[in-house]
Amino acid sequence: QAQLVESGGGLVQPGGSLRLSCAASGFSLAHYTIGWFRQAPGEQREGVSCIRGSDGRTIYADSVKGRFTISRDNAKDTVYLQIDRLKPEDTAVYFCAAATGGYSAESYYLTGAPYDYWGQGTQVTVSS
């Protein structure tokens, strides 16, 4: 069975950094679009970033642009989300997801595109 696993979350002070990892079990991420999403308690799930499988294009939500960096290491078959200058409002469970579809509207990858596989999430808590 296919499965995604996130890791790297934790408790960090404002201004700190974390690097989240997304790895797959049962398949390779090499040709998938990988998205990172987050959900805070009582709030809607928010797409924050993705890296396209077709061309490697990276996409970021405006709320995280300049602080979040998504990347792929094919040798390790892992996708990373580097988060810098963390803010308390970044506190959420972060999920990675894998998709096979391709879409012309880049924003759709973060705002409603279907993803085939999801991980269980990793908790990021930003607090002083």
**Number of Cβ atoms within 10 Å of the Cβ of 94:** 23
Higher pLDDT, 1 or 92: 92
- As a whole number of angstroms, the distance between CA 109 and CA 111 comes to 6
Query: How do residues 9-19 score in pLDDT, each as one tens digit?
Result: 999 999 999 99
pLDDT-based confidence at residue 38 (cuts at 50, 70, 90): very high
Percent with pLDDT over 70 in the chain: 100
Q: Between the CA of residue 67 and those of 16, 19, 59, 77, what are the distances in Å?
A: 11, 12, 13, 23
**What mean pLDDT comes out for the span 63-86?**
97
The tens digit of pLDDT for each residue in 84-121 reads 999 999 999 999 999 998 888 989 999 999 999 999 99
| Virtual torsion, Cα 8, 35, 65, 92, nearest 10 deg | -50
The radius of gyration of the chain's CA atoms, rounded to the nearest angstrom, is 14
Q: 50 φ, ψ to 5°?
A: -150, 160
When pLDDT is cut at 50, 70 and 90, the band that residue 20 belongs to is: very high
The conformation of residue 89, written as its DSSP 8-state character, comes to G
